[in-house]
Structure 1
Amino acid sequence: MKSKNVARRAVARLLGAAVLSAALIGVAPAGAQAATPTQAALSTQALQTSSVVAVAQPTLKRGDSGPAVRTLQKKLNALGYWTGGTADGQFGGNTEQAVLALKKVARLPRDGIAGPKVWRALADGVRPKARSSRGHVIEVDKKRQVLKIVDDGRVRFTLNTSTGSGQQYSSQGTTRVASTPSGRYRVYRQIDGVRHAPLGVLYRPKYFNGGIAVHGADSVPAYPASHGCVRVSNAAADWIWNTGKMPIGTRVRVY
């Protein structure tokens, strides 16, 4: 207890010296001796070591804009959560999808709102792990509901996705279960456009298992909702195509 009291008194003396030196520097009367640079540095150090100022990041959501959104986007992009490629300070659909992907990986409630836990996850550098170790691979994690673009075992990008719902559906007189089968595949077919399939519209699909494809969609919710395909946003589908992230022959691993 005695040692703690001594430490407290020492900190108090340092803090008092810092305040006094700051006052001398800023408002020293004519003829008075101002604090030397060394004293000023010591005073600043004392202030830094004796107190911590916590700056809370704001809670952000779709429709917000400004410097805080730009900071959020930069941090997401740095960890591979694709926000559209740039930090424009506008919290739109791409940023919302990126936040949702991060929250899935961090095991946070699945929504597109960036609150304190999202900022903490970003500060902690939360990103998913790959299961593949060699080559360029598209990994679809059905449990986390994210699509990972992996190079030699390193996850380069992470996208929000929605896979098979597991619910029954009927099509052309047949009842099936909406499932995205696990396994290892390769992209064998692609359509650079819109396909109006019996089960819905597929935007720029990349087929890897029969009629199952990675494709763009207007709706990519936080939960499994497709008939079996791997949905990404239309903007993400454009980016995959335009940057050559998933050409014919690309390995696809679903688990």
Structure 2
Amino acid sequence: MSESPSATPTTSPTATPTPTKTAPPEKLKIGSKGPAVLALQQRLTDLGYWNGKADGKFGGTTQQAVLAIQKAAGIGRDGTVGPKTQKALDAGVRPTAKSKAGSGYLVEINLKKQLLMFVKDGQVVATLNTSTGSNEHYVYQGQTYLADTPTGHFKVSRQIDGVRHGPLGDLFRPKYFNGGIAVHGSPSIPGYPASHGCARVSNAAINWIWATDKLPLKTKVWVYSS
């Protein structure tokens, strides 16, 4: 008596799992809050981009520091932290000084990158976003002038601990290094050259400069375009 052939078992094809789409991380920007912002602020501080006290709140001071690292990295300057800016943060991008070891303490203003750097013996110790001369012409009292920030080696020669109501606008706590050209506070520090010739920094930054004596009289100031 022969046995009946056993039925060949059938197997169902294994279903391919549907990949889970991970939403890209949300950009950090003005108004963002929380641990991610706190980590950002601490990283900026570690890299020398001044942004005040880390408090987990993305405000104007943090935005200025983000603009500074974006300028140093040569990427888009929008003051928000997206993938490219995060990559620069992760890579530890920092600007380099033009002065060399043995040059002592000075401030460097890089017109091309629009950065103001505090430098000691060729090493950048702190970096600020700045906005210098727009290189556009303007008219004052019937005369046409070029809004440029001249290059060269200078020294801080005078300062005003208050508001200087200048003919072209207010200068907050200015430190003059080349005639009427100064590092001064302003409520508007965009990611591009926009001043009449001065090196603008945020009001919070100029307050920090005064409070920590970062730019005393006779400090060397080097201004260059490349």
- Short-chain TM bin: 0.7 to 0.9
Q: Which residue of 2 aligns with 1:60?
A: 28
Matched residue SS, 2:221: strand
Q: Which residue of 2 aligns with 1:204?
A: 173
- TM-score, with structure 2 as normaliser: 0.87
1:110-160: CA deviation from partner (whole Å, max 9, x where unpaired): 110001111111111100000112211110000000100101111011110
- TM-score, with structure 1 as normaliser: 0.77
Give the Cα separation in 2 of the matches to 1:223 and 1:198. Answer: 23
Query: Paired residue for 2:142, among 164, 170, 173?
Result: 173
Q: Which residue of 1 aligns with 2:96?
A: 129
1:34-84: CA deviation from partner (whole Å, max 9, x where unpaired): xxxxxxxxxxxxxxxxxxxx9x75420000000000000000000011111
Give the Cα separation in 1 of the matches to 2:98 and 2:194. Answer: 24
1:64-110: CA deviation from partner (whole Å, max 9, x where unpaired): 000000000000000011111x2100000000000000001101101
Structure 2 stretches of 5 or more lacking a match? 1-21
- The worse-fitting range, judged by mean Cα deviation, of 225-234 and 169-178 is 169-178
Structure richer in helix, relative to its length: 1
Retained in 2: the 8 A contact 1:57–1:119? no
Query: Paired residue for 1:120, among 87, 90, 98?
Result: 87
Query: Paired residue for 1:163, among 132, 154, 165?
Result: 132
Matched residue SS, 1:236: helix
Q: Which residue of 2 aligns with 1:89?
A: 56
Greater relative CO, 1 or 2 (CA 8 Å, sep 6+): 2
Give the Cα separation in 2 of the matches to 1:254 and 1:216. Answer: 18
Q: Which residue of 1 aligns with 2:67?
A: 100
Query: Paired residue for 2:214, among 245, 249, 252?
Result: 245
Retained in 2: the 8 A contact 1:162–1:222? yes
Matched residue SS, 1:140: strand
Q: Which residue of 2 aligns with 1:254?
A: 223
**1:157–1:57 CA distance, 2 compared to 1 (3 A):** farther
Query: Paired residue for 1:188, among 135, 145, 157?
Result: 157
Matched residue SS, 1:170: strand
Structure 1 stretches of 5 or more lacking a match? 1-53
Give the Cα separation in 2 of the matches to 1:73 and 1:96. Answer: 10
Matched residue SS, 2:88: helix
Shift of 1:219: 0.3
Could you tell me the percent identity over the aligned residues? 60
Give the Cα separation in 2 of the matches to 1:66 and 1:92. Answer: 12
Give the Cα separation in 2 of the matches to 1:223 and 1:119. Answer: 21
Give the Cα separation in 2 of the matches to 1:167 and 1:115. Answer: 31
Q: Which residue of 2 aligns with 1:148?
A: 117
Give the Cα separation in 2 of the matches to 1:248 and 1:172. Answer: 31
Shift of 1:173: 2.6
Give the Cα separation in 2 of the matches to 1:60 and 1:104. Answer: 17
